[in-house]
A = this chain, B = another copy of it.
Amino acid sequence: MSENNSISGRRLNQPISGNEIPRFAGITTMLRLPHVEDPKQLDVGFIGVPLDIGTANKSGTRYGPRQIRAESAMIRACNQATRAAPYESLAVGDLGDVATNPYSLERAVDGIEEHFSRILDADCIPLAMGGDHTLTLPILRAMAKKHGPVAVIHVDGHSDTSDTMFGERIAHGTMFRRAVEEKLVNPRQVIQIGLRGTGFGTDDFDWAREQGFWNVPAERCWHRSLDPLMMEVRKRFSNTPVYLTFDIDSLDPAFAPGTGAIEPGGLTTIQGIEIIRGMKGLNVVGCDLVEVLPYCDQAGNTAGVAANLLFEMLCVLPGVKYHQARDPSSFRSDLPVEWI
């Protein structure tokens, strides 16, 4: 492996620096990475899945990928907090969007599965940008074909385990029922974090619990750090292929106003970051971030938060290079160490 190649031998890419082309300029790609057509050139590829016809209420998530790309322009190459330098060891790029059928959810879902299968066949880890949450079902189908049933970290305001919606078996609230039925996931290795809100009955979450899902309601997360939770998760998930699906409505609407099915009392962005950073060391085989709704995101900040969370996901993928932290004593601060 030469210096400019990734751990798999692929050519490394760098995001365009704001010193070369201003952040408001240029053809808009995710994180200002090259647009690459062929997943074989990449260890990790961002893929947009512009979908909203699986949506029960507010439509418009089809514009999620475009907006996430636009708002990713401020994100630089390295993670200051964790010292991750993902572009130094992984070949990362923007694979563009799935050409989702705008009129037929069924055919859109099939197209997504096929598209992700092709990416997985290329040994490229997909980081999907939604798009409504329905898209996770076809991705899990593709995942299961490659990896068998996977473990899932499911961060969401909703359980998404309904049997049908408006009589349909596929929609953005039924994916995890289908995933269990189709054996795409190991139900005892599904953790759902952030669930809350109202239900058709008072036992909506019980079906999932009966399958073995670990159900962490939002109320359990109130007023505390999720670092200890993630320690538990890491203990139990080591080595298993893990898929992360992050519904932006897991966050409280204060932190993610731009989504279509808000539930008050949700996670903070800080907790969202704790979850992702807490996955470091797991065998992450793919991730998605879904339900960004630009129409309800006047300032673009929900897309901006989403872009940052996707970057944090990139930083915990297997093989990412982490720089050593400087010895604090080398700095001339006399503040107590707990603050620096």
Contacts and interface: CB of A to CB of B under 8 A. Distances in A.
Interface of A: 17-29, 35, 48, 50, 52-60, 62-63, 65-66, 69-70, 73-81, 83-85, 94, 96-106, 164-168, 170-171, 188, 191, 195-206, 209-217, 219-220, 222-225, 229, 232, 236, 252-255, 257-258, 261-265, 268-270, 272-273, 295-301, 304-305, 308-309, 311, 323, 326, 330-336, 338-340
B62 A59 contact: yes
10 contacts: A21-B97, A24-B63, A76-B197, A77-B199, A78-B204, A212-B331, A213-B333, A220-B338, A232-B336, A255-B264
A27 B96 CA distance: 6
A17 B273 contact: no
A171 B299 contact: no
A102 B299 contact: no
Contact of A300 (B25, B166, B296, B326): B296
Nearest to A304: B262
Contact of A80 (B25, B70, B202): B202
B225 A225 contact: no
- Describe A's contact surface by its main secondary structure: loop
B57 A23 contact: yes
Residue of A24, A57, A84, A224 ringed by the most chain B CB atoms within 10 A? A24
Contacts of A74: 57, 261-262
A304 B224 contact: no
Given A209-B326, A270-B223, A308 B96 contact: no
A107 to B, nearest CB: 8
A101 B167 CA distance: 9
Given A53-B53, A262-B305, 18 more contacts: A19-B165, A22-B50, A25-B62, A27-B35, A27-B96, A35-B35, A53-B59, A59-B62, A76-B200, A102-B166, A103-B168, A104-B104, A104-B105, A197-B308, A198-B308, A215-B331, A252-B270, A264-B273
B255 A212 contact: no
Contact of A332 (B188, B199, B258): B188
A214 B331 CA distance: 9
